[in-house]
């Protein structure tokens, strides 16, 4: 399942490199957009193999009815993404022990860690065990660590 994080059927072309679902008068396809040498986004490849347009902006002017979704995460990348999120959460839990001022609340520092990571409609979720469910200070610390690595669509919960 692919999830659109930023664009949801907008006609204005993307300005950020990544993998996008694009739908025009001829149908839809998955395209990878990358910056060209002049800094304008161009198509690096498409699943249909029709990657002959030079710039996304020129294409959008020629086909103004095109709609864009994404950047999207292809299903074959999900396991790697989930594993990476788990690593970031576990590292943040370890580092949280040494933060000054110390994070307050009911926390079992000896066993604190990531119990589960998965997908949901709005992105991902991570469950951290061995901390009070209402420990928003710890949750924010972990969310900040995830955001610093580019994961802003992760919901973090704590539980015993």
Angle between helices 136-148 and 78-96 (to 10 degrees): 130
Question: What is the reported pLDDT for 38?
Answer: 59
β-pair partners for 121: none
pLDDT of res. 77: 75
Write out the chain's pLDDT in tens, 160 residues: 344 445 667 777 677 777 777 777 777 777 777 766 555 666 655 555 554 444 555 555 556 677 777 777 666 678 888 999 999 999 999 999 888 888 999 999 999 999 999 988 767 899 999 999 999 999 999 999 999 988 888 999 999 9
Q: Please choose, from the candidates 84, 94, 70, the residue with its C-alpha nearest in 3D space to the C-alpha of residue 21.
A: 70
pLDDT at position 28 is 74
CATH number of the 76-159 domain: 3.30.300
Q: Can you count the helices (H) and strands (E) in the chain?
A: 3, 8
All residues at 6 or more sequence positions from 55 whose CB lies less than 8 Å from its CB, including other chains: 36, 40, 41, 42
Q: Please, are residues 105 and 135 in contact by the beta-carbon 8 Å criterion?
A: yes
Which residues in 9-48 are b (16+ Cβ under 10 Å) and which e? Answer: eeeebbeeebbbbbebeeeebbbbbeeeeeeebbbeebee
Are residues 60 and 11 in contact, defined by beta-carbon separation less than 8 angstroms? yes
Q: Taking the model in full, what pTM does it have?
A: 0.60
In the chain, domain spans:
7-72, 76-159
Residue 88 has phi, psi (to 5 degrees) of -60, -45
Strands 7-10 and 41-46: unpaired
């Amino acid at each position: 399942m692919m999830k659109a994080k930023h664009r949801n059927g907008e006609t204005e072309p993307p300005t950020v490199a990544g993998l996008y679902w694009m739908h025009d008068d001829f149908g839809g396809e998955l395209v990878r957009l990358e910056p060209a040498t002049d800094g304008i986004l161009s198509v690096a490849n498409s699943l249909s193999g029709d990657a002959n347009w030079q710039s996304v902006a020129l294409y959008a002017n020629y086909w103004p009815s095109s709609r864009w979704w994404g950047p999207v995460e292809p299903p074959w990348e999900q396991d790697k993404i989930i594993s990476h999120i788990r690593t970031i959460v576990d590292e943040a839990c370890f580092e949280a022990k040494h933060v000054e001022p110390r994070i307050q609340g009911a926390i079992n520092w000896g066993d604190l860690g990531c119990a589960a990571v998965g997908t949901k409609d709005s992105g991902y979720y991570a469950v951290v065990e061995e901390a009070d469910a209402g420990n928003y200070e710890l949750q924010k610390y972990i969310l900040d660590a995830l955001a610093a690595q580019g994961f802003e669509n992760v919901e973090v919960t704590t539980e015993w």
